Structure 1
Amino acid sequence: MKVAFLFPGQGSQEPDLISNLPDHPAIRSTIDEASDVLNEDISQLDNVHRLNSNRNVQVCLLVTGVASARVLKSEGVRPDMVAGHSVGAFGSAVIAEVMEFRDALSIVKRRGEWMEEAYPTGYGMGVISGLTKRKVEEIIEKENNEEEPVYLANVNSNDQFTVSGSFLSMDRILEVMRKEGARKAERLNVSVPSHCPLMGPVAEKLDEALKTIPFKNPSIPYAGNRNARPLRDAKAIKEDLASSVAYPVRWHEVISLYYELGARLFVELMPGRVLTDLICQSFPTARSLAVSASGLHSAKMLTEHTRQMPH
């Protein structure tokens, strides 16, 4: 049985996500490395006030995901495949040995800053559960406003989707979703309109910046956000990391792909358990574990048990 490491994206952050990491040499060295690369104390970025910054959120998510993955790898737990949701893709690229952690830090910092500069206020994301994709698209098409647009963004499961755009239109659209029977239709804790055409200029900046960074082919399977397929060469991964900020994340297809490839244990790296909950809902015959909830030791033990199971 195969094991997949999953790296969460924005919306999974919580206050003290760096401060609450376990005391482990791999975690301390990761925090020290990040602080050295960015020339600031990373452990000071995770309070409530500083997490209002999109840039700080993205940096903290990258550090937390890579740090917890490095703990598991240092103890002999190595994934058979990796994937990351949105900014989590950079963490998965690091663990797949596609890019160096220091380069990922530099790019993610700028990615967060560029996104924030493009839409400092009035824009963000919302989440809808309990409607079909077709119904969500119909409501958006009917209720949208060209001057204050909203777009379908991420497809997280068969009945969970995110939207991106102007809060002025989004609040009205989310209200219609609730009236149409959505179990949940509310704003997310994301202050920029990710994964929609509004981020086109940011994608262009990322493309230029990534041209200066060395990439290698992945050492293990890596799934792209934009096309939900295995990306086997450095150029394709670089293109995915640049462009996906302006395109929906096809997350449900990513997990479906890995399930088809034999993954039966999905380990969600810190922080949060958003991705774990999605797998429990969509793939009840697979096992999923959120390190934040179950701990690193449980992740290690369950991984070892999974590998011993017959295929």
Structure 2
Amino acid sequence: MSSFWVFPGQGAQQSGMLHTLPNDPLIGECLREANDALNENVLDLDTPAALQSTRAVQLCLLIAGVACSRLLMAQGNTPDYVAGLSIGAYPAAVMAGALSFADAVRLVALRGELMQNAYPKGYGMTALIGLDQSTVEGLVEKIHNKDTPVYLANINADTQFVIAGSDQAMTDVAALAKAQGAAAAKRLAVSVPSHCELLNEPAQTLAQALADVSVQIPTLKYLSGSTARPIFNADKLRDDLAFNMCRVIDWRSTVQTAYERGARLQIELPPGTVLTGLARKVFEQGSAVAFQGARLDTLSALSREEERRHP
């Protein structure tokens, strides 16, 4: 088999995303497990008001990803590779058998709290589309200083990047980017400056919590969204989960690595279709599809066909 399951990061969240999951006993069981781990009703987390909280967003992304992955696996589908963008690393680790779902729920709740408490306002992330990496890095360097910090945070595709930092710094970089011919500069629905050194301290605190959690060697091939390399060691996976919040995400290389290692079917777990769009250029000789909006039997048929071609 050569399929690749990917899990989105913040910005992909949608109002009502847990309420619109497929009506299946496996989904209900997953929601109950999350309720028990948190001692709260997770169905309260996906309202528009609740999703203003980083904690709620990250928990919803984790739960949706694991629930729909379990549904796919119950149909006899198993990926060869898994990877997640930022918070997506947690459902990827759960499905790779490296982290229990209950532990992931508790860790993600802490992760979200640490991130939102570190920067409750005045910071965030902005996508820049239409410029190359060196140009974006040059613009960031022009604006970045102690009072207006800004960093390259995500390398999503050849001409799609995300910056993180203060509101003013991102506004200034966006203005320069448009002057340089950028097709778009769009503020993302992320209220913290992820994937840069501004989150070093929260990452250290999360690492301390992860030190007390059981992490196993992955039973599936887990690709780090930061290094774009497979992780086979439990301690390295623990490090990846703790510190991906303050490391640059190289999603472009992560997708390329999966393809170069033989993956020809990418399935994006809910919510959204952003990662599907990013993968289509790389997967020109394969298929990139999103769970959201697709029929379960269609996804299963694609998986079986890929397994037949590449046993």
Q: Give yes or no for TM over 0.5.
A: yes
**AA partner of residue 30 (structure 2):** T
Distance in 2 of aligned mates of 1:67 and 1:147 = 42
CA drift at 1:50: 0.5
**AA partner of residue 308 (structure 2):** Q
Aligned residues of 2:158 and 2:252 also touching (Cα < 8 A): yes
In the alignment, which residue of structure 2 is the partner of 1:100?
Answer: 100
In the alignment, which residue of structure 1 is the partner of 2:38?
Answer: 38
CA drift at 1:143: 2.4
CA drift at 1:302: 1.1
Query: Under a length normalisation based on structure 2, what TM-score does the superposition of the two structures give?
Result: 0.98
In the alignment, which residue of structure 2 is the partner of 1:274?
Answer: 274
What SS is found at the alignment partner of 1:82? strand
Higher mean Cα deviation, 258-267 or 274-283?
274-283
In the alignment, which residue of structure 2 is the partner of 1:211?
Answer: 211
In the alignment, which residue of structure 2 is the partner of 1:289?
Answer: 289
Question: Alpha-carbon deviations, 1:130-156, whole Å to 9, x = none?
Answer: 110000001111122321201000111
In the alignment, which residue of structure 2 is the partner of 1:50?
Answer: 50
Distance in 2 of aligned mates of 1:173 and 1:264 = 36
**AA partner of residue 201 (structure 1):** E
1:161-172 paired onto structure 2 within 5 Å: 161-172=161-172
Distance in 2 of aligned mates of 1:310 and 1:19 = 36
Distance in 2 of aligned mates of 1:97 and 1:309 = 26
CA drift at 1:282: 3.6
In the alignment, which residue of structure 2 is the partner of 1:304?
Answer: 304
**AA partner of residue 69 (structure 1):** S
In the alignment, which residue of structure 1 is the partner of 2:24?
Answer: 24
Distance in 1 of aligned mates of 2:73 and 2:14 = 24
Instruction: Give the number of equivalent residue pairs.
Output: 311
Aligned residues of 1:55 and 1:111 also touching (Cα < 8 A): yes
Deviating 4+ runs (over 4 angstroms):
none
**AA partner of residue 221 (structure 1):** K
In the alignment, which residue of structure 2 is the partner of 1:254?
Answer: 254
Question: Alpha-carbon deviations, 1:1-45, whole Å to 9, x = none?
Answer: 510111111011010000000101111100111011111111111
Distance in 1 of aligned mates of 2:286 and 2:304 = 15
Aligned residues of 1:150 and 1:166 also touching (Cα < 8 A): yes
RMSD: 1.1
Distance in 2 of aligned mates of 1:171 and 1:286 = 38
**AA partner of residue 70 (structure 1):** R
Distance in 2 of aligned mates of 1:51 and 1:111 = 15
Aligned residues of 2:143 and 2:150 also touching (Cα < 8 A): no
> Where does structure 1 lack aligned partners over 5 or more consecutive residues?
none
> Where does structure 2 lack aligned partners over 5 or more consecutive residues?
none
1:137 aligns with 2:137: yes
Distance in 1 of aligned mates of 2:226 and 2:46 = 29
In the alignment, which residue of structure 2 is the partner of 1:63?
Answer: 63
CA drift at 1:198: 0.2
Aligned residues of 2:259 and 2:282 also touching (Cα < 8 A): no
Higher mean Cα deviation, 117-126 or 169-178?
169-178
Name the % identity. Answer: 40
Q: 1:22 to 1:139 in 2, by over 3 A?
A: same
Distance in 1 of aligned mates of 2:181 and 2:202 = 35
In the alignment, which residue of structure 2 is the partner of 1:90?
Answer: 90
Distance in 2 of aligned mates of 1:91 and 1:310 = 25
Query: Under a length normalisation based on structure 1, what TM-score does the superposition of the two structures give?
Result: 0.98
CA drift at 1:310: 5.2
Aligned residues of 2:26 and 2:71 also touching (Cα < 8 A): yes
Higher mean Cα deviation, 274-283 or 164-173?
274-283
CA drift at 1:51: 0.3
Distance in 1 of aligned mates of 2:162 and 2:300 = 32
